[in-house]
A and B are shown apart, each in its own frame.
Chain A
Amino acid sequence: MPGAWQWTRPAGMLRPVDEIAMLTRRYMHEYGATRDHLANVALAFRKHANRNPDAMMRDRPLTRDEYMAARWISEPLCLFDNCLETDGALAVVITSAERARDLPHPPAFLHSFAQGLPQQHQPMINFFCDDPLRGPAWSCAARLWERSDFRPGDIPVAQIYDAFSPLIPLSLEGYGFCDRGEGAAYTDGGALEWPDGRLPTNTSGGGMSEAYVHGFNLILEGVRQIRGTSVCQVDDATACLVTSGEGVPTSALVLRR
Chain B
Amino acid sequence: MDTTRLTHDREDPNPQPFWEGCERGVLLVQICEACRARRMPPRPMCPRCRSLESRWQETSGRGTIWSFVVPHPPLLPAYTAVAPYNVIVVALEEDENIRYVGNLVTSADASLGEVDPATIRIGEPVRVVFARVEDVTLPRWVRR
* Chain A residues at the B interface, C-beta cutoff of 8 Å: 1-15, 18, 21-23, 25-26, 29, 71-76, 119-120, 122, 125, 127-130
CB-CB contacts below 8 Å: B61-85 with A:
66-72, 75-76, 79, 82, 84-85
Q: Are B40 and A25 in contact (CB under 8 A)?
A: no
Which residue of A1, A8, A12, A75 is within 8 Å of B7 (Cβ)?
A: A1
A119 to chain B, nearest CB (A): 7
A7 to chain B, nearest CB (A): 5
Q: Are A4 and B72 in contact (CB under 8 A)?
A: no
Which residue of A8, A21, A129 is within 8 Å of B101 (Cβ)?
A: A8
Q: Are B67 and A15 in contact (CB under 8 A)?
A: no
Which residue of B11, B75, B87 is within 8 Å of A22 (Cβ)?
A: B87
Q: Are A3 and B87 in contact (CB under 8 A)?
A: no
B17 at the binding interface (Cβ < 8 Å): no
- Beta-carbon nearest neighbor of A120 in chain B: B47
Which residue of A5, A12, A26, A129 is within 8 Å of B87 (Cβ)?
A: A12
- Beta-carbon nearest neighbor of A75 in chain B: B70
Q: Are B12 and A3 in contact (CB under 8 A)?
A: yes
Q: Are B67 and A25 in contact (CB under 8 A)?
A: yes
Residues of B within 8 A of A11 (CB): 87, 101-103, 138
Q: Are B72 and A73 in contact (CB under 8 A)?
A: yes
Residues of B within 8 A of A22 (CB): 67-69, 87, 89
